[in-house]
Amino acid sequence: MSIIPQLIINSVIAGSIYSLVALGFNLIFGTTKFFNLAHGVVATIGGYGTFAMLKMFDQNIYISIIFGIIVAAFFGWLSEKLIFKPMRKTKSSSTVLLVASLGLFTALQAIIAIIFTSQFKTLSISVAQTKVYEIFGGIITDVQIVIFFTVIFILLGLVLMMKYTKLGKAIKAISDDEEVAKIVGINTNKVIAKVFIIGSAIAGIAGIAIGFDTGIEPTMGMNILLKGVVAVIIGGVGSVSGGVVGAFLLAFIENFGIWKISGEWKDAIAFVVLLLFLIFRPRGIFNKKK
Partner 1 sequence: MEYLIHLAILISIWSMLAVSLNLILGYTGLLSITHAAFFGLGAYATAISITVYDINFFVSIFMGILITGIISLLFGLILSRFKGDIYALASFGLNIIVFSIFLNWQDLTRGPLGIPGINRPEIFDFVFKNNLYFLILVAIFALLIYLLSEYIVKSSFGRVLQAIREKEEIIQVFGYKTQLFKLTIFVISACMASVAGSFFASYITFIDPSTFDLQESIFILAIVILGGLANNKGAFVGTVFLILLPEVLRFVGFPTDIAAQMRQVVYGLLLVGLMMYRPQGLLGKFKL
Applying CB under 8 A, the residues found at the interface with partner 1 are: 34-35, 83, 86-87, 90, 92-100, 102-111, 113-114, 222, 226, 229-230, 233, 262, 264-265, 267-268, 271-272, 274-275, 278-279, 282
Do 88 and 34 contact (CB within 8 A), yes or no? no
Residue partners of 287: CB distance under 8 A and separation at least 6: 236, 237, 238, 239, 242
d(CA 177, CA 187): 13
Of the candidates 211, 86, 190, 194, the one whose C-alpha atom is nearest the C-alpha of residue 146 is 211
Give the number of residues written for the chain. Answer: 290
Find the shortest distance in angstroms from Cβ 245 to partner 1: 19
Find the shortest distance in angstroms from Cβ 77 to partner 1: 16
Residue 138 DSSP SS3: strand
Question: Which is nearer to partner 1, 87 or 197 (by Cβ)?
Answer: 87
- Rounded to the nearest 5°, which phi and psi values hold at 217? -145, 155
d(CA 40, CA 225): 4
Query: Residue 218 gets which letter from DSSP?
Result: T
d(CA 145, CA 41): 25
Angular region, 137: left φ>0, alpha ψ -120 to 50, beta rest: left
Find the shortest distance in angstroms from Cβ 80 to partner 1: 13
**In this structure, which amino acid lies at residue 34?**
F
Question: Which is nearer to partner 1, 114 or 156 (by Cβ)?
Answer: 114
Residue partners of 8: CB distance under 8 A and separation at least 6: 138
Find the shortest distance in angstroms from Cβ 150 to partner 1: 28
- Angle (deg, nearest 10), helices 94-116 and 39-51: 20
**In this structure, which amino acid lies at residue 208?**
I
d(CA 257, CA 265): 9
Find the shortest distance in angstroms from Cβ 269 to partner 1: 9
Question: Which is nearer to partner 1, 64 or 109 (by Cβ)?
Answer: 109
Question: Which is nearer to partner 1, 97 or 208 (by Cβ)?
Answer: 97
Question: Which is nearer to partner 1, 59 or 287 (by Cβ)?
Answer: 287
Question: Which is nearer to partner 1, 103 or 137 (by Cβ)?
Answer: 103
Find the shortest distance in angstroms from Cβ 202 to partner 1: 21
Question: Which is nearer to partner 1, 109 or 144 (by Cβ)?
Answer: 109
Find the shortest distance in angstroms from Cβ 175 to partner 1: 16
Question: Which is nearer to partner 1, 34 or 75 (by Cβ)?
Answer: 34
Find the shortest distance in angstroms from Cβ 122 to partner 1: 22
d(CA 133, CA 139): 6
